[in-house]
Amino acid sequence: MTRMTSCPDPETVAERAAAEVIGHLQLARQQRGVAHLALSGGTTPGRTYELLAVALEDWEAVEIWFADERCVPPEDAQSNYRLAAETLLRPATIDPAQVHRMEGELGAEEGAQRYAQALSDRVLGKDADPPTPPVLDLIVLGIGPDGHVASLFPGAPALDAGEQAICLPIHDSPKPPPERITLSLAVLRAARRCLLLATGAGKADAISAALAEPSRHVPASLLRRERLTIIVDDAASPTS
């Protein structure tokens, strides 16, 4: 069953989300010795990362991944990596060896292929031949007004990539830039937990749709409900 929390304002959402992330990281390290965390872009996640950088002192044995990336250089203003670097990675002095960047500057095809290989090697092991995708401990997600998550957009062919897909090239994003790299729906669904964040009245309809019947027209509704935590402010709450 989906866990949803409504907070009075965006700052409280970020505080609650940071605490949620810390709890999952600590549990993963206790149980498996390492935590695999995937980050997304966006204003609400960005504030969460700023709080995380201060709140969690020990980042040892935390591997940082990304849910999606635009096909731009890492220093570009549109880069999700740049956002994470400025708000979390550098302020928390996380070892660059623990950070696995999607190489958007290589283009969607090559970038996705390399990232799929990196995930397989690092999370599953280089000699593994698994029937299922890599299992990340926690994926932090935003949601678009259209219900998209990562770079999985309503009705897109990428939603039908199948259970063996790990990382996908996107060539026709309805939001600029059109070229992107994204984790597959299979990887999002395989994660031990997805944390979905939303603030503002413009996201209320998307959250309502995400909680309704699963639909390819609302990619967020296709996430595993029993592994999903949603944190919103009152403005984005479907009951507001």
Note the pLDDT of residue 239: 66
pLDDT tens-place string over residues 207-238:
999 999 999 999 999 999 999 999 999 999 98
Confidence of residue 127 (pLDDT cuts 50, 70, 90): low
Structure tokens of 20? 């949620």
User: What is the percentage of the chain residues whose pLDDT exceeds 70?
Assistant: 96
CA neighbor of 233 nearest in space, from 4, 3, 2: 4
Q: What is the CATH number of domain 3-182+192-232?
A: 3.40.50.1360
CA neighbor of 89 nearest in space, from 37, 130, 139, 135: 37
Confidence of residue 172 (pLDDT cuts 50, 70, 90): very high
Phi, psi for 28 (deg, rounded to 5): -65, -40
Residues constituting the chain: 240
Confidence of residue 124 (pLDDT cuts 50, 70, 90): confident
CA neighbor of 84 nearest in space, from 21, 141, 41, 144: 41
Starting at the edge strand found earlier in the chain, the sheet holding 62-66 runs 3-7, 228-233, 194-198, 138-141, 35-39, 62-66
Confidence of residue 1 (pLDDT cuts 50, 70, 90): confident
Average pLDDT, whole number, for the chain?
Answer: 95
Q: What is the mean pLDDT of residues 105-115?
A: 98
pLDDT tens-place string over residues 143-161:
999 999 999 999 999 999 9
